[in-house]
């Protein structure tokens, strides 16, 4: 028995049976149900069913056949990181970004937009539900990406990148909220690493797509414009599909019986967080500020993002400046994406197997980044 299944089973069988009320906002409410105790087999069946509706692939023998969160996150990173790959196919020349720090500002302003939009969109996700917000976010960012080829000035691309940052900032908070709603604490580590690993996965696929698009020399558009059009159309098509396939809360998601919905709530009872809460609780905010775990994570995230942000924005340009051809520079992004995919999944797996080693795992994962940066 896996550690997460065992932990869940022990909790379920040791919990005093209680009446569950399914459908409410701050925990339960709506459908009265009889007491429920979940055995190991039932828990595995429910977990598999949740994975099918939220996750995408089949690693480590676990059946993940849905495509919602991982594919969405892959598209989000694809669209965000496309700037670096488009830059070596004429974007800098066409938009006059070669002088001074213009290209750096085009990169940086995305994160100003990200900071501006992160809290408001996270607040909306909490108030409305992720199932409604996520497809809308995808449609809006698809429209912004589709508008990128129309940018012809430095000011235009600045506005475009800022708005892209504002909209895409809601993806990670929404997915963290969704993961916390559906999974127990012991299950969340690996599931979060699974959808987050697709940021690296997209960096494996996108250079191959753009390698082909980069060879288009006919037509009225430049190769970088075709890259943005294809990325935007793919995102738009997926956003429309999300309206029909992205699950809501455990109380309302399609594909579950009334009994299963009751059991879904019982599964996450150990989280002591309910399944939906639309009330901001200041004592929780103060508790986070007083926690050294919060500040360690904040510091690690800030420092690690500094390095990864440079690679995301300047990777292809750096390779090109080292003497590699345009297409070679593009393909050199694939090893970066592959290593990121493996390391994120591996860190999530270690965090699940050894819960007390999570902070050490995150710290250790920064060492290769430091070494690689020094070698460059």
pLDDT digits (tens, 9 = 90+) for 310-330: 778 888 998 998 989 999 999
Whether 332 is in a domain gets the answer yes
Whether 26 is in a domain gets the answer no
Does residue 13 register a pLDDT over 60?
A: no
Q: Which residues are within 8 A (CB) of 271 and not within 5 positions of it... i.e. 6 or more apart?
A: 180, 184, 185
Q: In the chain, how many domains are there?
A: 1
Distance, in Å, from the CA atom of 284 to the CA atom of 331, rounded to the nearest integer, reads: 46
pTM for the model stands at 0.79
Full domain range(s) for residue 209: 67-257+288-375
What integer pLDDT is reported at residue 30 of this predicted model?
A: 42
**Structure token digits, residue 84:** 């670096």
Whether 125 is in a domain gets the answer yes
Sign of CA dihedral 156, 157, 162, 163: positive
Distance, in Å, from the CA atom of 226 to the CA atom of 251, rounded to the nearest integer, reads: 42
Task: Look up tokens 């974007």; give the residue.
Answer: 91
Distances 215 to 209, 227, 326, 351 between C-alpha atoms, Å: 11, 11, 11, 43
pLDDT in tens, 134-148: 889 999 999 999 999
Could you tell me the CATH number of the domain that includes residue 234?
A: 1.20.1250.20
Does residue 12 register a pLDDT over 70?
A: no
- Quickly list DSSP for 246-258: S---TTT-TT--H
Mean pLDDT of 108-120: 90
Whether 236 is in a domain gets the answer yes
Distance, in Å, from the CA atom of 346 to the CA atom of 341, rounded to the nearest integer, reads: 9
pLDDT in tens, 186-210: 788 888 888 888 888 888 999 999 9
Burial class (CB in 10 A: 0-12, 13-18, 19+), 154: middle
Local confidence band at 233 (pLDDT 50, 70, 90 cut-offs) = very high
Q: Please, are residues 1 and 9 in contact by the beta-carbon 8 Å criterion? A: yes
Does residue 223 register a pLDDT over 80?
A: yes
């Amino acid at each position: 028995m896996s550690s997460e299944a065992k932990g869940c089973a022990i909790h379920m069988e040791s919990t005093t049976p209680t009446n569950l009320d399914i459908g409410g906002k701050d925990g339960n409410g709506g459908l009265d149900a009889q007491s429920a105790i979940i055995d190991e087999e039932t828990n595995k069946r429910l977990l598999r069913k949740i994975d099918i509706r939220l996750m995408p692939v089949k690693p480590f023998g676990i059946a993940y056949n849905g495509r919602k969160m991982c594919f969405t996150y892959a598209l989000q990173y694809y669209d965000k990181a496309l700037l670096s790959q488009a830059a070596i196919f004429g974007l800098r020349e066409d938009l006059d970004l070669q002088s001074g720090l213009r290209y750096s500002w085009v990169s940086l302003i995305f994160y100003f937009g990200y900071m501006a939009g992160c809290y408001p969109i996270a607040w909306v996700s909490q108030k409305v539900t992720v199932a409604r917000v996520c497809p809308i976010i995808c449609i809006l960012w698809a429209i912004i990406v589709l508008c990128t080829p129309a940018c012809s000035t430095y000011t235009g691309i600045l506005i475009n990148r800022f708005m892209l940052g504002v909209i895409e900032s809601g993806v990670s908070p929404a997915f963290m909220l969704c993961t916390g709603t559906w999974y127990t604490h012991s299950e969340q580590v690996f599931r979060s690493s699974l959808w987050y690993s697709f940021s690296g996965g997209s960096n494996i696929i996108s250079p191959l797509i753009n390698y082909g698009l980069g060879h288009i020399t006919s037509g009225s558009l430049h190769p970088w414009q075709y890259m943005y059009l294809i990325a935007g159309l793919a995102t738009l098509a997926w956003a429309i599909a999300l309206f029909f396939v992205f699950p809501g809360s455990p109380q309302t998601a399609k594909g579950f019986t009334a009994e299963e919905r009751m059991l879904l709530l019982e599964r996450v009872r150990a989280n002591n967080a309910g399944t939906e809460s639309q009330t901001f609780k200041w004592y929780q905010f103060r508790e986070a500020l007083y926690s050294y775990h919060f500040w360690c994570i904040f510091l690690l995230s800030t420092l690690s993002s500094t390095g990864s942000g440079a690679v995301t924005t300047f990777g292809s340009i750096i390779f090109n400046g080292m003497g590699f051809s345009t297409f070679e520079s593009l393909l050199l992004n694939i090893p970066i994406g592959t290593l990121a995919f493996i390391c994120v999944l591996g860190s999530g797996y270690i965090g699940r197997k050894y819960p007390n080693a999570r902070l050490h795992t995150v710290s250790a994962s920064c060492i290769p980044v430091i070494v690689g940066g020094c070698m460059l």
